[in-house]
Amino acid sequence: MIAKHVAMNSVQKSHYGELIHYLTDGKGKHERVGAVRSSHCHSERPDAAVLEILNTQAQNIRAASDKTYHLIVSFRAGEQPAAAILEAIEARLCEGLGYDGHQRISVVHDDTDNLHLHIAINKIHPLRYTLHTPYNDHKTLGGLCAELESRYGLEPDNHQARKRGSENRAADLESHAGVESLMSWLRREYLDALVAAPSWEALHRVLNDHGLTLQGRGNGLVIVDGSGVRIKPSTVDRGLSKAKLEARLGAFQAAGSGSSAGDSDRNSRKDGRETGQAIRPPASEPSRCYEPRPVRTRLDTAALFGRYQAEQQQRGTERAEALSRAKARKTAALEAARRGATAKRAAIRLMVEPGAVKKLLYARASQALRDESRRIHQAYLQERQGIAERGTRLTWADWLRREATAGDWEALMALRGREAAQGLKGRTVSATGTPRPGRPVPLQQDSVTKQGTVIYRTGAAVIRDDGQRLKVSRGSGPEALAAALTLALERYGECLSVTGSEAFKDQVVQAAAAAGLPVRFDDAELERRRQSLMVGGMSPDSRQTAQASPEPRPTASGSHPPVVSADALAAADRYIAERNQTRRIITDIPEHRRYQAGDAGELRYGGQRTLDGHSLALLRQGERMLVVPVDEPTVLALRRKLVGDVVTLDAEGRVQSKSQGRSR
């Protein structure tokens, strides 16, 4: 598990109520917001608890820093701690940070590949009204996470800092936005040339040839590109820090001159500019410049990225045009209001005698103009906000997720091709063959994660699909497992592989047998148990007892309990799959499925089929066609039947008695 403090860059923008609104907003997803819990508040309702916390924060009028501590706790993919464990983890983290007794609201989010817990803590104590900010909280959180991982058996993470702050920000950009950072681009393309530069002039030449400049800033250096993005050279490589460069190349010299860093700073200040925005010296046209491009994936995303860039450019153009039209409407409305006010004042001047009444009318006209102007400005502000929301530029990863949610298979594969996509773990159902793209899914899609995991809903259950595996992450009852197996059958074919505990595997086998799905398991033991449950609806133990019993007595029709082999069951499954596949084209074909113990009783005879040397009997049950493997005595008994005759079968698939034929 990883715990991270999310700090606000601007204290003025920090608002506890807006944070809770964001955390509890489902954003159109049913599976985004999980449990919501308030602690040390009089009310358990989030809206009432927010008011209580805001009132507490208002009691401290001296604090100049942020009054809210936003903590995110993220778990490894596949880990789903119970609600009691999440509550205990939350309490221990808050206690370790010194926030025991402070008001807080926690929200569980489950719309990504990693379950994560948001904890919004009020830094103002509810009784003393003092502000508490933990010292070196990143080290404290690392120790607490290691302790909790050991206590609750969670998969351990590394809690020692390996990267500096700027490196972490670049990694966050690549992970969340899906584009390569300037730091990674320099490391990949030009690190050797930068490190090997023999002089300041050569170092500046390498950077200028690629649209970059090296400038002094404060006590260090920054690399700036044409769009204003800047990074410290030491984040690209430790050997590019100012101290190490000056030890190797001498005192820093600005580009295009032999001046020192101090002279460069003074010259930039005389020009009225910040050091990081100094005028670039004349240089030849750069041969190659940094452009945010998708991080390298296992797939070619050039065409998709071209679509993304064109759409974002079009969106920016439309947003600018919409804002221009809105501003023109506002200006016209204000001019019309002023003209109306001028006409009113002129009428008052001509028609009303001087005195108190005239003054009152002038005041009323002025007030009406102010009210109308306020209304126009408010309407313009709301229109601008609506335009901004509709025209917000999407990151590359968010655009891919939106397109994948809309059904774009290429966008979905691009998400799954990212290095961050590690696949589902734990209790999963997967295929032994190649997945079939674009297969119809009989489930309701809820959302798509940035790693390409599709989340489906079926009742109260949640099924996740990463393209190779399926996982029932919540509500793993028989219905949910049957839905997952049906999806696996549509997506992967009939041969499936199951991973997880023995209890989970047994649940999957029972769900497959109860639903009569034409699936097979690559595990021989699981397949044997499934076949035992399918034949006569008996458990494996009862099936073994039946096989060890003496020769059974013949039934009224003279047939014996059928001895069904695994090959015969596999033949029945193949026949069922073929007929159901053809049914999508020829709608007159009824739905086919395996005969089960619950189907015992009177059925209509539908004929016989032979596949791979195995005999199959067809029995109509309403609008369905049931398929049952039969032995030779049953074949002979059924040959005397006509299609449409009533046939009575017991739970083991044996013919019980003769029935009247249909009238001819």
> Does position 270 have pLDDT exceeding 80, yes or no?
no
The predicted structure's pLDDT at residue 263: 47
> For 541-552, b where at least 16 C-beta lie within 10 A, e where not — what string?
eebeeeeeeeee
Rounded CA separation 183/180 (Å): 8
Kindly state the DSSP code that residue 197 receives in the 8-state scheme. -
Q: What are the pLDDT digits (tens) for 593-602? A: 888 877 888 8
Structure tokens at 585: 């084209």
Q: What are the pLDDT digits (tens) for 103-148? A: 999 999 988 878 899 999 999 999 999 999 999 898 999 999 999 9
- Percentage above 90 pLDDT, the chain: 24
Half-sphere exposure of 73 (CA within 13 A, CB side): 29
Taking the CA atoms of residue 51, residue 56, residue 61 and residue 62 in that order, the dihedral angle to the nearest 10 degrees is -130
Structure tokens at 664: 């001819």
Bridge partners of 222, per DSSP, are 215
pLDDT band, very low/low/confident/very high, at 548 (cuts 50, 70, 90): very low
Domain ranges (residues) in the chain: 2-152, 181-277, 312-396, 423-534, 555-657
The predicted structure's pLDDT at residue 96: 94
Q: What are the pLDDT digits (tens) for 141-177? A: 999 999 999 998 888 888 776 666 666 677 766 666 7
Rounded CA separation 30/462 (Å): 10
Residues 6+ apart with CB under 8 A from 59: 124, 129
Going by C-alpha positions, the residue among 521, 437, 427 that lies closest to residue 473 is 427
Residue corresponding to tokens 């819990």: 37
Instruction: Output phi, psi for 309, to 5 deg.
Output: -65, -40
The predicted structure's pLDDT at residue 55: 95
Q: Are residues 494 and 432 in contact, defined by beta-carbon separation less than 8 angstroms?
A: no
**Chain centroid to CA 507:** 27
The predicted structure's pLDDT at residue 568: 80
pLDDT band, very low/low/confident/very high, at 371 (cuts 50, 70, 90): very high
Residues 6+ apart with CB under 8 A from 602: 646, 647, 648, 659
Residues 6+ apart with CB under 8 A from 260: 251, 252, 253, 254
Give the three-class secondary structure for 124: strand
Average pLDDT of the segment spanning 6-23 = 88
Rounded CA separation 336/372 (Å): 10
Please give the span between the terminal C-alpha atoms of the chain, in angstroms, as a whole number: 74
The predicted structure's pLDDT at residue 560: 44
- Exposure of 409 by Cβ count < 10 A (0-12 exposed, 13-18 middle, 19+ buried)? exposed
> Does position 19 have pLDDT exceeding 90, yes or no?
yes
> Does position 283 have pLDDT exceeding 70, yes or no?
no
The predicted structure's pLDDT at residue 564: 61
Give the three-class secondary structure for 218: coil
The predicted structure's pLDDT at residue 99: 95
Residues 6+ apart with CB under 8 A from 23: 33, 105, 107, 109, 118, 120
- Percentage above 70 pLDDT, the chain: 82
The CATH code belonging to domain 2-152 is: 3.30.930.30
The predicted structure's pLDDT at residue 556: 41
Going by C-alpha positions, the residue among 212, 210, 229 that lies closest to residue 288 is 210
> Does position 664 have pLDDT exceeding 60, yes or no?
no
Please state, as a whole number, how many other Cβ atoms lie within 10 Å of the Cβ of residue 152.
Answer: 16
Rounded CA separation 299/322 (Å): 37
Going by C-alpha positions, the residue among 522, 426, 514 that lies closest to residue 471 is 426
Rounded CA separation 30/32 (Å): 6
Rounded CA separation 123/19 (Å): 14
Q: What are the pLDDT digits (tens) for 315-330? A: 889 999 999 999 999 9
- Exposure of 106 by Cβ count < 10 A (0-12 exposed, 13-18 middle, 19+ buried)? buried
Rounded CA separation 537/595 (Å): 10
Single-letter amino acid code for the residue at 534: M
Residues 6+ apart with CB under 8 A from 369: 337, 338, 340, 341
Structure tokens at 19: 């944070």
The predicted structure's pLDDT at residue 269: 42
Q: What are the pLDDT digits (tens) for 557-573? A: 444 444 566 778 878 88
DSSP β-ladder status, 444-448 and 212-217? unpaired
Compare 20 and 637 and report the one with higher pLDDT.
Answer: 20
Q: What are the pLDDT digits (tens) for 352-363? A: 888 899 899 999
Q: What are the pLDDT digits (tens) for 295-312? A: 777 777 888 888 988 998
Residue corresponding to tokens 């398929």: 627
Rounded CA separation 410/305 (Å): 11
- Quick one: angle between helices 409-416 and 302-351, nearest 10? 110
Kindly state the DSSP code that residue 163 receives in the 8-state scheme. S
Q: What are the pLDDT digits (tens) for 434-475? A: 666 555 566 778 888 888 888 887 776 788 888 888 888 765
> Does position 30 have pLDDT exceeding 80, yes or no?
no
> Does position 584 have pLDDT exceeding 80, yes or no?
no
DSSP per-residue codes, 524-561: HHHHHHHHHHHSTT--HHHHHHHHHSPPPPP-TTSPPP
Average pLDDT of the segment spanning 252-273 = 51
